[in-house]
């Protein structure tokens, strides 16, 4: 009796997630890919030229680059849901859920941003001898980090008023899009830097083994992000249900 009840609850909570990925199979798959990336990063990929520690330092790329890319992707996902929240009929039943999705994307973006900043700083410290160089990428990511933090500060300040919080946070996310988009195209041109982006995106410099591990890493991180979003969203739904029962 109790188990069936729990199962229906889990089912209703699960069905409303909009992502097409359902069930457990892909999570096992993700685990395998992640294991492959960790193994591949140290054993499959060879030593890169032009980096310190006999090129072993370059192995951080498999973890740094996917987090850095995800940290900006998350922002656009958050902004997308924020825009939907604002411009759709306010009495729409899913309005609160759309807001939750926006907030979840921002929280995870903040997390990936921290990871990218730390891994980037470790790389910079070992490669260039200083953990902070005012390189355009470093500046961009730390600005991104602050934008995420401000967004979360605003949400925290409005904790008691969910409707106001949803609306004002959405407006803030969209306004912050203005500086965020300069980070993509203007900032790298404003300041000269030595970030090894070119090495990564010029085809001839990347060995096939590197490519396989890097692309697998992108896949694994993206799936990880989706899984984490789903978990956060489920937690959100259970929490609101609990509050509804109590209130």
Partner 1 sequence: MELTAQTSLSLRAENVGHHFGVRTVFSRISFEVAVGQVCVVTGPNGSGKSTLLRILAGLLAPSEGSVEMRVQGRAKTSVERRQFLGYVSPDLTLYRELTAAENLEFFARLQGITLSRDDLIARLTQVGLRGRGRDLVGAYSSGMRQRLKYAFALLSNPPILLLDEPTANLDVHGIAMVEEVIAAQRRRPDGGITILATNEPRELTWGDRTVHVDSTP
Partner 2 sequence: MTPPEASHDVFRAGWTGQALTLLAKDMKAELRTKVAISAVGVFTFASLLLLGLATAVLKEVKTVAITRLADPLTVQGLIAQMHPAWDSPSKMGLLWVLFCFAAFAGLAHSFVHEEETGTVTALRLSTSAEAVYTGKLLFNLIVLLVVMVAVTPVYMAMTGMSAGSPFVFITVMLSGGIGLAATATIIGALAAKAQGTGALYGALGLPLLLVFLMLLLNAAGTVYVVNAPMLRIVKDVGGLFSFGILIITMSVMLFHFVWEE
149 binds partner 2 (CB under 8 A): yes
CA 87 – CA 82 distance, rounded (Å): 9
Nearest-approach distance from CB 159 to partner 1, in angstroms: 10
| Nearest one of 205, 176, 160, 158 to 58, comparing CA atoms | 205
Residue 59 CA, chain-centre distance (Å), reads 20
91 binds partner 1 (CB under 8 A): yes
205 binds partner 1 (CB under 8 A): no
Size of the site for partner 1 (CB under 8 A): 10
Binding partner 1 (rule: CB under 8 A), the pick from 90, 184, 191, 238 is 90
| Region binding partner 1 by CB under 8 A among candidate stretches 39-47, 98-106, 160-168, 183-191 | 160-168
Torsion of CA 81, 152, 219, 55, to 10 degrees: 150
212's contact among partner 1, partner 2, none, with CB below 5 to 8 A by partner kind, is none
Measured N-to-C along each axis, helices 61-87 and 136-157 cross at an angle, to the nearest 10 degrees, of 40
187 binds partner 2 (CB under 8 A): yes
CB 86 within 8 A of CB 170: yes
| Nearest one of 93, 108, 97, 187 to 140, comparing CA atoms | 187
| Region binding partner 1 by CB under 8 A among candidate stretches 5-13, 108-116, 155-163, 183-191 | 155-163
Q: What does the binding site for partner 2 look like in residue numbers (CB under 8 A)?
A: 86-87, 89-90, 139, 143, 146-147, 149-150, 153-154, 157-158, 163-164, 167-168, 170-172, 174-179, 182-183, 186-187, 190-191
């Amino acid at each position: 009796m109790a188990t069936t009840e729990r199962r229906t609850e889990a089912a209703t909570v699960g069905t409303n997630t909009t992502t097409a990925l359902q069930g457990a199979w892909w999570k096992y798959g993700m685990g395998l890919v992640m294991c492959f990336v960790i193994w591949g990063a140290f054993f499959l990929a060879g030593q890169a030229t032009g980096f310190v520690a006999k090129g072993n330092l370059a192995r951080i790329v498999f973890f740094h680059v996917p987090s850095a890319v995800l940290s900006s992707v998350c922002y656009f996902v958050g902004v997308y849901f924020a825009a939907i929240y604002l411009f759709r009929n306010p009495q729409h039943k899913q309005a609160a859920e759309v807001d939750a999705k926006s907030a979840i994307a921002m929280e995870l973006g903040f997390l990936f941003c921290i990871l990218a900043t730390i891994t980037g700083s470790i790389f910079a410290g070992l490669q260039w001898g200083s953990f902070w160089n005012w390189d355009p990428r470093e500046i961009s990511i730390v600005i991104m980090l602050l934008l995420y933090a401000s967004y979360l500060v605003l949400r925290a300040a409005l904790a008691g008023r969910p409707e106001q919080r949803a609306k004002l946070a959405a407006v803030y996310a969209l306004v912050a899009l203005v500086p965020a988009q300069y980070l993509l195209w203007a900032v790298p041109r404003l300041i000269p830097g030595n970030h090894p982006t070119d090495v990564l995106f010029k085809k001839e410099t990347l060995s096939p083994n590197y490519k396989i591990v890097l692309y697998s890493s992108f896949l694994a991180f993206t799936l990880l992000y989706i899984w984490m979003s789903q978990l956060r969203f489920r937690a959100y739904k259970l929490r609101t249900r609990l509050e509804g029962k109590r209130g």
